[in-house]
Amino acid sequence: RRSKLFCLYVLSTSTLKTKNVSLLSLSTTVCACARYLAGVRSFVPEQEMETRIIGGQEAWAHSWPWQVSLQLDSMPACGGAIISPLWVTSAAHCFIRHTKASLWTVLAGKHDLDNPEEPQQQVRLGSTVYNTQSKESDVALLKLEKPLEFNHFVRPIDIWMTPLPLLMKCTITGWGSTRENGPRVNRLQEVNVTILPSDDCNQYYLGRIRPSMFCAGKDEGGVDACQGDSGGPLSCFTGTRYELAGLVSWGVGCGRAKRPGVYTRVQEHAQWMSDTMGESDSGCDQTPGLAGLSLSADGVLSVVNVTESCPFFWPWQVSLQFNGRHYCSGALIHPHWVITAKHCGVRAKEDVAVLGLHDMKFLPVQTILIDKVFNPPQKAGFPPKSDLALLHLSVAARLGSEVSPVCVPEEDNSLDDTWSCITAGWGATKAKDGVDPDRLHHAGLTLVNESTCRHKWGGFITDTHICSHPAGSTSCMGDSGAPLFCQKHGTYFLFGVVTWGSWHCDSEKPAIFTSVSDYQSWINKMIIKF
C-alpha cells in the first residue's frame, strides 16, 4: 500500500520488566498525517545499558523485532532487517558463495536461536536482488515466499532518510562472535556505537571509504560487529522510534583500535530499493481490485476480486465476539470507541471487541470487554434511518502498528467518483476463488448513485444511506457490521457500516451502508461526554 494514513492518537509500546521473556514508500505511513510507527521496540528495558557482538551485551528478548537471522541450510549465517511483510534487506556479500535463494531461510521473531519454544516465523527466500548500479553496493533485497505476520515480536523498520549526525549513538544487533575469531552466540547481542567522521575513517582505511559507506564504533576500539553479524541492522533512534541507517558490511578484525566497523549507508540505496520492491510487489500488499459478480454455467452467483488482506493491513478492523465466536465486524475510531451496525445486537458487559486480529485461529493482539452500547436517537419505523451502534470499551486500546483508529469524515464530506472505497471482514463469502473465512478479506467497491439505488430499493433509501455494488452486501461478503472505508489523497475515512439488504447475494440489489458522516456530531458528543 502506498502512503496510507490513519488517525493518530497516543501511540505506545509495551514495557516488560523481566528480561528473559520466553517501503510502497520506503515507509508505511500512518489522520494527523503522522507516520505509521515502524521501528518501535516491543519490549524495552526500563534503563538503557551499555556495558559482546564486541563490547556489548545480551539484548532484552524480542526488543529488536525487525532483526532476522538468515539461515543457510538451517545454520545461522548472516543478519538482516525487515522492511515490509515480504521484504528483508541484508548485505550482498552474504550471498557471494551461495546465491541460490532456495538454500536460505529467514527466522523472524527470535531471541535465542537454540530455543525451539520461542515464538518464531520461518520463511524461505523466494528471490534475492542486488544493486548492480555500483560496485561498492553491499546491499541485497530478499523477497520472501510468503509475507510475515507483524506482531509484538515481528515488525518492520523504516529507512533513515536524512544526513546522519556525526557522533550520534546508534545500536548494532546480531548473533555474531563476541570476540575476534570466536564462536557465534545463540542469544541476540546489542551494542551502542558512535557515527564517526568519514575523513577520520578514510585515514584509517587508506581512502577505501566511499559515499555509500560510513564508519561507526570508537577510535580506541572495543565495540564492533564481528563474524556472523554481516547484513545486520544499525538502528538509530529518532526521538520517537528507530530507523535503519546501516547494514554491517566489512572491517579489519573485530573491535580493533582505529579499525572501526564499516556499514552500508542504506539511504544511498533507498530509490533502488523502492523501485525494486514496487516492480516485484505481491498481491498481498496491494489495494484490492473492484468486486464484481459472476454467474456460472449452472446458475451459481459468485463474487470476484475478494482477496485475503495482508496481516494488520486494516488496523482499525474489529471482530465482535461472544464466547470466542465472531458474529460481526466493527471499526475502531478512538482508543475507547468502536462503530458497528445496530442490528448486530451487541450486548454490553458480555461481548468483547477483538483488535489486531487477522486469522481467527491465532491469538489476537488485544481483547477488550464492551461496557456500554449507544444508538443514535431516531424515530421508530422500518427500515430504520440509522443502523449504527457506538460501543464504549472498558479500557483504552493500546495503539500501534497492529491497532490504529480510522478517521471519521466531517458531515460535509460527501462521496463522489474521486474516492476509492473498500470493505473488509471475516466469514464465509460467495467468493469465486475460495477465501478462508477465518482470515480477514477485502474487496474494492464501486459506489451506486442515490437515484439508481432508490430505483432498485424504492422508499427504503434515505439520504443517510450509501449504496455500493451488490457485492458489498453481507450476503455476498459474509460479514455484518463491516466497514466501508474510502480514501482520497492517501487518507482513509470510515464512511459507512454495512446494514440491511437482500437476504441472498443478488446482482440486482445494491449493498446498503449507513452513512457515518451524517452522525459525526453525535459521535463527537458521545466521545466528549465519556
Distance, CA of 256 to CA of 452 (rounded, Å):
76
The b/e string for 182-212 (b: 16+ C-beta within 10 A; e otherwise) is eebbebbbbbbbbbbeeeebeebbeeebbeb
Output the nine-digit C-alpha cell for 350.
458480555
Q: Which residue has the cell 477465518?
A: 438
For the chain, the distance separating the N- and C-terminal CA atoms, rounded to the nearest angstrom, is 35
Using CB atoms within 10 Å of the CB of residue 126, give its burial: 0 to 12 exposed, 13 to 18 middle, 19+ buried.
middle
**Is 407 in contact with 7 (CB distance < 8 Å)?**
yes
Query: CB-based burial of residue 348 (10 Å sphere; 0-12 exposed, 13-18 middle, 19+ buried)?
Result: middle
Nearest residue to 148 (alpha-carbon basis) of 70, 211, 197, 87: 87
Between strands 242-250 and 158-159, the pairing is parallel
User: Which of 493, 494, 501 is closest to 472 using CA atoms?
Assistant: 501
Q: HSE, CB side, 13 Å, CA atoms: give it for residue 12.
A: 8
- What is the set of active-site residues? 343, 387, 480
Tell me which DSSP letter residue 196 carries: P
Q: Are 421 and 484 in contact (CB under 8 A)?
A: yes
Output the CA–CA distances (angstroms, integers) from residue 428 to 236, 300, 477, in the order listed: 45, 15, 7
Q: How far is CA 394 from CA 152, 353, 391, in A?
A: 23, 10, 10
